[in-house]
Amino acid sequence: MAAFMVSCMALYNSFLRLGFVPGAVTAAAVKGVKEYLFAVPVAFFIGSRASLCLAKRYAIKNIPSAFPYFVSFFTVLVMVPMMTTIVYVMNMGFAIELPTLFHNMARNYAFAWPIQIIIVGPLVRYIFSCICPPRRA
C-alpha cells in the first residue's frame, strides 16, 4: 500500500507542478525515482507502524470491520506531513518557506484521504486477499 500511495502522490504532485501535459507522467517517473526510493522505506517502516499503533488505540472496539478505515485514516494523517516535508527539503533544500509547505500539505491531504479511503486502500486489500487468502479455522 505504501508503494502505491507514494506513486499516486508523486504523480499528483507532478501534475500540480507541470499541469496535465503529455510529459508529466514521464517527468514524475524520472524525478520521482529518487523520492520513491527514499519514500517507500520511510512510509513502510515509520508511517505504517505509527498509523497502525494509532488505529489500534483509537479504533472502535465493537466494530472490527471499521478497523481498516481507521488504519487508512491514520496512515494519511501521519504520512502527509512527514512525506511533504521530506520531499520539499529534497527539492528545495533547507530554505523552508512555511506558508508554501503548509499549502502543499493541505493540497496533499485533500487528495490523499479520498484516494486512500476509496481507491487505494480497498484495492490493495482486495489484491492482498487474492494473493494470500485468509485461513479458515
pLDDT tens digits along 10-34: 888 878 877 777 777 777 777 767 7
Distance CA 105, CA 81 (A): 6
Q: Where are the domains of the chain?
A: 2-131
Distance CA 101, CA 82 (A): 11
Please write the tens of the pLDDT for every residue from 26-64: 777 777 677 778 887 888 888 888 888 998 888 887 788
Residues whose CB falls within 8 Å of the CB of residue 18, separated by 6 or more in sequence, listed in order: 24, 27
pLDDT of residue 108 exceeding 80: yes
Do the beta carbons of residue 82 and residue 42 sit within 8 Å?
A: yes
- pLDDT class of 109 with cuts at 50, 70, 90: very high
